[in-house]
Structure formats: structure tokens, C-alpha cells
Amino acid sequence: MARISVERTHSLGLEAAREKAQPLVDKLASQYGLTPSWAGDTVKLKRSGVNGTLQISEKTVKVDVELGLLMSAMSGMIQSEIERSLDKALS
């Protein structure tokens, strides 16, 4: 089992950060077959073998993902994709 944790700071404010995070959520959902479910400023991303959250605050966006055994082999690629997409979304 592999864990991925990526956190980025921003100065966008809560609403703008949430708007910028939505395309990232959509991309991860379609690319990895995840089902997103928003609860306030947190979105849960789930599918068989993957369980994650994206939390948005006034100054940070944090993505935590836990990968099951089969998906663990792709952890490096998945982490790079999350980092790149998060950096692009918040710039």
C-alpha cells in the first residue's frame, strides 16, 4: 500500500482556490476512474484500490491519496501528475 501527500500554499482565497481545484478534481476523476464527492471544502475521491481527499483552505490545498496494492506500482507517476496539475491549477 502506498500513500501520497501533496500540499501547496496559495494566496487565492478560499472561493478562488475551490474554483481552480475543480478542473483538477475533474481530471483526476476521469483519468483514474475516481468518483468525487464534495462535502464543504473537501472532496473525497474513491474507487476500488484508491481512496483520497483534496482539502481546500484559505491558504493551502492538500491532496492525500492511499493506493491499494495494484495501484501502488503507479504511485510515482500518480504523485507527479498530482503535483504538476496542482501547480498548474494554482498558478
The domain that holds 44 is classified in CATH as 3.30.160.110
> What is the value of pTM for the model shown?
0.88
Domain count, the chain: 1
What is the model's pLDDT at position 11? 94
Confidence of residue 80 (pLDDT cuts 50, 70, 90): very high
Rounded Cα distance, 76 and 79, in Å: 5
Q: Is residue 13 packed enough to be buried (19+ CB in 10 Å), middle (13-18) or exposed (0-12)? A: exposed
Pairing of strands 2-9, 42-47: unpaired
pLDDT one-digit tens code per residue, 22-60: 988 998 889 888 999 999 999 999 999 999 999 999 999
Handedness of CA 24, 62, 33, 1 (dihedral sign): positive
Rounded Cα distance, 13 and 68, in Å: 33
What is the model's pLDDT at position 79? 93
Q: First and final CA of the chain: distance in angstroms?
A: 31
What is the model's pLDDT at position 24? 84
Domain that holds residue 76: 2-90
What is the model's pLDDT at position 5? 97
